[in-house]
Amino acid sequence: MLAERDKLNADIQDVLDKQTEAWGIKVSTVEIKRIDLDESMVRAIARQAEAERTRRAKIINAEGEQQAAQKLVEAAQILAPVPQAMQLRYLATLFDIAGERSSTIVFPFPIDLMQAWAAHGSAERR
């Protein structure tokens, strides 16, 4: 009713014209100005509007997640061919974490980096 007020106006005008035509009366304008809805209908409309806002928010959030995932894939493709770049990224992340007020930091350490240091250390001892 609220969305198609103009169509309702035209339909009412047609009905009135058919009823008053025999008397020579022509209704020139019909305008619905106010519609009183039952309280349960008002609540139903409000719930529908809220559901639509929630749906749109979820879609926007999902699109954001999808874009973020795509950017992570692109970053991984750039970093993957150069292991040193990934190691620098690890160190930069560790620096960022160290700046926060955490008391414990669990950080994955690449085994190949540890093996390289071990090999370098054993070569120096010889």
pLDDT tens digits for 78-123?
A: 888 888 888 888 788 878 877 777 667 776 777 777 777 777 766 6
- State the Cα–Cα distance between residues 87 and 113, nearest whole angstrom: 8
Q: Which amino acid is at 42?
A: V
Q: What percent of the chain has pLDDT over 70?
A: 90
Helices (H), the chain: 5-20, 39-79, 83-98, 111-125
Find the angle CA(96)-CA(74)-CA(87) to the nearest 5 degrees.
40
Most confident by average pLDDT, 1-5, 55-59, 103-107 = 55-59
Token pair belonging to 16: 């009135």
Helix axes 39-79, 83-98, angle to 10 degrees: 130
Domain boundaries, the chain: 1-35, 37-81, 83-126
Q: What pLDDT sits at residue 67?
A: 97
* pLDDT above 90 for 35: no
Token pair belonging to 30: 């019909």
Q: What is the CA radius of gyration of the chain?
A: 35
Average the pLDDT over 35-64 and give the result. 93
Q: What pLDDT sits at residue 48?
A: 94
Token pair belonging to 106: 């669990």
